[in-house]
Amino acid sequence: MLYANINPTAKTVRQIDPFTTETQESDFMTVIATNYGAGAEEVKFRVVFGVITDNSFYKNFEINTVLTAQEFSSWGADDSILLQIVSNKIGTEITSYITTDLGDQLI
């Protein structure tokens, strides 16, 4: 699986109890196509944010985004291109990539 190190980091606030919150920062993301069909005009993608520690990817949260056929037309077989397209759309920058088999079951 291909992961992108991102800057700025993605942040989410998690409610611990009625009086306490915790901010989680995610410095990695990956993208997963859902219901992709050849020739589709739009494709929905899950953008999964998390951290990599102890050789495993741990998901903090995810969002959904939709790309049009025109937006993902340059994708091909190189997933780094898809990660770049999505990062541009959501407003973050990729600083590096990690290709690994770590923790795919954690997504």
Q: Which domain holds residue 61?
A: 2-99
User: Is 87 a member of any domain?
Assistant: yes
- Residue 60 has a pLDDT of 93
Global pTM value: 0.85
pLDDT tens figures, 54-104: 778 899 999 999 998 888 888 877 889 999 999 999 999 999 999 877 555
Q: Which residues on neighbouring strands pair with residue 85, listed in sequence order?
A: none
The full DSSP string for 10-50 is EEEEEEEETTEEEEEEEEEEEEEEES--TT-SEEEEEEEEE
User: Is 47 a member of any domain?
Assistant: yes
For the chain, the domain total comes to 1
User: Is 107 a member of any domain?
Assistant: no
User: Is 42 a member of any domain?
Assistant: yes
User: Is 60 a member of any domain?
Assistant: yes
User: Is 105 a member of any domain?
Assistant: no
Strands 93-99 and 56-68: unpaired
User: Is 104 a member of any domain?
Assistant: no
User: Is 39 a member of any domain?
Assistant: yes
Residues 57 and 103 sit within 8 Å (Cβ to Cβ): yes
Residues 45 and 63 sit within 8 Å (Cβ to Cβ): no
pLDDT tens figures, 13-61: 999 999 999 999 999 999 998 877 777 788 899 999 999 987 788 999 9
Q: Which value, to the nearest 10 degrees, does the dihedral of the CA atoms of residues 99, 103, 106, 107 take?
A: 20
